[in-house]
Amino acid sequence: DEADAAERGRGNAVAPAPETIGNRSPQRQPKAASAAAADALKSGGSRERLCASELPAPAPGETPVRLHKAWPSRNKFYCSGSLMMGGESEFPVVGGFNCSWANCCAWSCILLPTLCFFVTVAPYLWSSFVVLPIIVVAALASTVSFLFLACCSDPGVIPRREVILATACQEQLTELLGYNPLGVGTPAHDKGLDRERMVPPELRQRGYNWCHTCEIIRPPRASHCPECDNCVMRFDHHCPFVNNCVGQRNYHFFIGFLTSVCCLAVVVLPSFAWSMFRERQGLQVSIGAGGEDVVKYALIAVGIAVGIAALCLCNLWMYHLWLILKGKTTKEHLKGRRVENFDQEPTFCAPRGPQLFDQYAWVHRSQVTRPPRPAAAVARHG
């Protein structure tokens, strides 16, 4: 009877608004099998009242804003919340713009050599072998698209406790994840105590862990990124060259970027080498005799730099192919973690899953913002 009543209560719940996460297709996460977790979910009314008491009252006269304007961690949103970039704050190019030198280097190593190719090599090839410039255009478009998607998409961020409370999405996250991310009770803000008390024993035995920084329960393959200061689903690594975490929701884009840039290098580098050794008359037709020596040395320098970068990228691409075959993430391999349920949760051939937060939800800034913590402290506690 109690189970039937709980089912009727869930059936009478109000459907979420079109902008909320509940309307997105649920991701394939294993459901919590514990009786304790099920009982906790059935007593949703008292749990919601208990969690609501943690939410501080907004400041008098405070105007609500969109969540992406009050995001509590280091990520930055652009284009009215449509683009989400990581928290790479080390060695910024322009202060406050959240763009690092590593990210600028990645874009430069792709665009500048390709520009040199179109200026010096492509005019000659266009009259003799038109297919090659077309292949370069296609590979460049694919590389830029995948890099942009990896840089500016949500990697699978699990919202912090205060974000969940302020946006009232606890019930939706419980349905999507298969467990209550807020845990049992109220955090004591003690790492050891909260890890034992907030996580149900059955979930703890299955590898679920308590994040002391975000104050939520995270799945076994999720980890806290100290650079972005968020927990990320199936966390692979934080990549400064894409200025974002690589996780469950953008790993496909990252692999697509590596594959595309390797194809681009395979086409462009041999073309540069061929242009260095082709007959002198052909070079003069393309660029003119006066600038031959300058262009030749410039092409050699660019070719060497791009060749080294391409060799590193090809090695990284092969490493990730090996990880995909093993069903591991970069962090799991480096930490020596054992992967459970490989068939149910692969790294590449798995669905991206829905976004777990609504960046357009209205919140009060004072309810979601807290003083930022140093990256070293986050690494210790997360």
Helix pair angle (2-11, 35-42), 10° resolution:
60
pLDDT score of 248: 94
Q: What is the mean pLDDT of residues 271-293?
A: 57
pLDDT score of 3: 46
Contact (Cβ atoms closer than 8 angstroms) between residue 36 and residue 203 = no
Q: Please, which residues bridge with residue 232 across strands?
A: 157, 223
Q: What is the mean pLDDT of residues 190-196?
A: 87
pLDDT score of 41: 39
Which element (helix H / strand E) includes 215?
none
Q: Taking the model in full, what pTM does it have?
A: 0.78
Residue 380 pLDDT greater than 50, yes or no: no
- 29-50, pLDDT tens digit by residue? 434 334 443 444 344 444 454 5
Residue 275 pLDDT greater than 50, yes or no: yes
Q: How confident is the model at residue 12 (pLDDT cuts 50, 70, 90)?
A: very low
- 172-190, pLDDT tens digit by residue? 999 999 999 999 988 888 8
Q: Please, which residues bridge with residue 158 across strands?
A: 231
Cβ neighbours for 293, distance < 8 A, ≥ 6 positions apart:
none
Q: Considering the chain, what is the average pLDDT of its residues?
A: 78
pLDDT score of 342: 53
Q: What is the mean pLDDT of residues 92-119?
A: 78
Residue 101 pLDDT greater than 90, yes or no: no
Number of alpha carbons in the 13 Å side-chain half-sphere of residue 255: 19
pLDDT score of 269: 80
- In angstroms, rounded to a whole number, what is the distance separating the alpha carbons of residues 98 and 78? 11
Cα distances from 261 to residues 136, 246, 269, in angstroms, run: 10, 17, 12
